[in-house]
Amino acid sequence: DQQVKQNSPSLSVQEGRISILNCDYTNSMFDYFLWYKKYPAEGPTFLISISSIKDKNEDGRFTVFLNKSAKHLSLHIVPSQPGDSAVYFCAASDFTQGGSEKLVFGKGTKLTVNP
Protein backbone atom coordinates (compact mmCIF):
# COMPACT_ATOMS: atom_id res chain seq x y z
CA ASP A 1 0.00 0.00 0.00
CA GLN A 2 1.39 3.35 -1.02
CA GLN A 3 2.21 5.61 1.90
CA VAL A 4 3.00 8.64 -0.26
CA LYS A 5 0.55 9.44 -3.02
CA GLN A 6 0.72 11.87 -5.89
CA ASN A 7 -2.66 11.47 -7.49
CA SER A 8 -2.03 13.68 -10.50
CA PRO A 9 0.32 12.00 -12.95
CA SER A 10 0.61 15.18 -14.99
CA LEU A 11 0.01 18.92 -14.83
CA SER A 12 0.19 21.56 -17.54
CA VAL A 13 0.43 25.31 -16.83
CA GLN A 14 1.23 28.47 -18.73
CA GLU A 15 4.52 30.26 -18.26
CA GLY A 16 4.24 32.91 -15.56
CA ARG A 17 1.33 31.24 -13.80
CA ILE A 18 1.41 29.28 -10.57
CA SER A 19 2.07 25.53 -10.56
CA ILE A 20 0.64 23.59 -7.63
CA LEU A 21 1.75 20.01 -7.13
CA ASN A 22 0.00 17.96 -4.49
CA CYS A 23 1.02 15.07 -2.30
CA ASP A 24 -0.86 13.05 0.32
CA TYR A 25 0.55 10.65 2.87
CA THR A 26 -0.94 8.05 5.16
CA ASN A 27 1.70 7.54 7.86
CA SER A 28 1.30 10.08 10.65
CA MET A 29 4.79 9.19 11.90
CA PHE A 30 6.45 10.88 8.92
CA ASP A 31 8.16 14.00 10.21
CA TYR A 32 10.17 15.31 7.28
CA PHE A 33 9.15 15.79 3.68
CA LEU A 34 11.09 16.53 0.56
CA TRP A 35 10.46 17.41 -3.07
CA TYR A 36 12.75 16.17 -5.81
CA LYS A 37 12.80 17.22 -9.44
CA LYS A 38 13.79 14.86 -12.23
CA TYR A 39 14.67 15.72 -15.81
CA PRO A 40 14.76 12.97 -18.46
CA ALA A 41 17.98 10.94 -18.46
CA GLU A 42 19.02 12.41 -15.10
CA GLY A 43 18.59 11.29 -11.52
CA PRO A 44 16.27 13.13 -9.12
CA THR A 45 17.70 16.33 -7.62
CA PHE A 46 16.69 17.75 -4.27
CA LEU A 47 14.50 20.82 -4.50
CA ILE A 48 13.06 21.80 -1.13
CA SER A 49 12.08 20.20 2.16
CA ILE A 50 9.93 20.85 5.21
CA SER A 51 9.93 19.59 8.75
CA SER A 52 6.69 18.59 10.40
CA ILE A 53 7.14 21.35 12.97
CA LYS A 54 6.58 23.90 10.23
CA ASP A 55 3.68 24.52 7.90
CA LYS A 56 5.54 26.47 5.24
CA ASN A 57 9.01 26.68 3.77
CA GLU A 58 9.99 29.06 1.00
CA ASP A 59 13.01 29.13 -1.28
CA GLY A 60 12.85 31.62 -4.10
CA ARG A 61 10.07 30.67 -6.49
CA PHE A 62 9.38 27.43 -4.62
CA THR A 63 7.20 27.13 -1.54
CA VAL A 64 6.14 23.95 0.19
CA PHE A 65 3.08 23.91 2.42
CA LEU A 66 2.34 21.20 4.96
CA ASN A 67 -1.07 20.46 6.44
CA LYS A 68 -0.46 17.79 9.07
CA SER A 69 -4.07 17.33 10.06
CA ALA A 70 -4.96 16.57 6.45
CA LYS A 71 -1.71 14.65 5.84
CA HIS A 72 -1.22 16.78 2.77
CA LEU A 73 1.60 18.82 1.34
CA SER A 74 1.88 20.89 -1.77
CA LEU A 75 4.63 22.51 -3.81
CA HIS A 76 3.93 25.92 -5.31
CA ILE A 77 6.07 27.30 -8.11
CA VAL A 78 5.55 30.99 -8.84
CA PRO A 79 6.08 32.15 -11.50
CA SER A 80 6.39 28.95 -13.50
CA GLN A 81 9.07 28.83 -16.18
CA PRO A 82 9.53 26.43 -19.12
CA GLY A 83 12.71 25.16 -17.47
CA ASP A 84 10.59 23.91 -14.58
CA SER A 85 9.14 21.24 -16.87
CA ALA A 86 10.15 17.97 -15.20
CA VAL A 87 8.79 15.15 -13.06
CA TYR A 88 8.37 16.15 -9.42
CA PHE A 89 8.57 13.55 -6.69
CA CYS A 90 7.25 13.96 -3.19
CA ALA A 91 9.11 11.98 -0.53
CA ALA A 92 8.76 11.39 3.19
CA SER A 93 11.44 10.40 5.66
CA ASP A 94 10.86 7.11 7.43
CA PHE A 95 12.91 4.47 9.21
CA THR A 96 13.61 0.96 8.01
CA GLN A 97 13.30 -2.14 10.19
CA GLY A 98 17.07 -2.03 10.54
CA GLY A 99 16.92 1.49 11.94
CA SER A 100 18.25 3.27 8.87
CA GLU A 101 16.51 6.36 7.68
CA LYS A 102 14.92 5.98 4.28
CA LEU A 103 12.89 8.03 1.85
CA VAL A 104 9.46 6.88 0.74
CA PHE A 105 8.61 8.31 -2.66
CA GLY A 106 5.42 9.05 -4.51
CA LYS A 107 5.02 8.08 -8.16
CA GLY A 108 5.71 11.58 -9.37
CA THR A 109 3.84 14.30 -11.25
CA LYS A 110 5.01 15.40 -14.68
CA LEU A 111 4.85 19.18 -14.91
CA THR A 112 4.80 20.87 -18.31
CA VAL A 113 5.16 24.65 -18.43
CA ASN A 114 4.08 26.01 -21.78
CA PRO A 115 5.71 29.18 -23.18
Partner 1 sequence: ETGVTQTPRHLVMGMTNKKSLKCEQHLGHNAMYWYKQSAKKPLELMFVYNFKEQTENNSVPSRFSPECPNSSHLFLHLHTLQPEDSALYLCASSRGVGSEEQYFGPGTRLTVT
CB of 60 closer than 8 Å to CB of 3: no
How many Å apart are CA 34 and CA 99, to the nearest integer? Answer: 20
Q: How far is the CB of 41 from partner 1 (least distance, A)?
A: 7
Q: How far is the CB of 34 from partner 1 (least distance, A)?
A: 6
Task: Tell me the site size for partner 1, rule CB under 8 A.
Answer: 28
Among 4, 13, 86, 113, binds partner 1 (CB under 8 A): 4
**1 near partner 1, rule: CB under 8 A:** no
Give the nearer residue to partner 1 in terms of CB position, either 46 or 114: 46
**87 near partner 1, rule: CB under 8 A:** no
Among 8, 32, 62, 65, binds partner 1 (CB under 8 A): 32
How many Å apart are CA 54 and CA 42, to the nearest integer? Answer: 30
**69 near partner 1, rule: CB under 8 A:** no
Burial of 46 from C-beta contacts in 10 A (0-12 / 13-18 / 19+) = exposed
Q: What is the DSSP string of 25-74?
A: E--TT--EEEEEEE-TTS--EEEEEEETT-SEEEETTEEEEEETTTTEEE
Interacting residues with partner 1 (CB under 8 A): 2, 4, 32, 34, 36, 41-46, 49, 89, 91, 93, 96-108
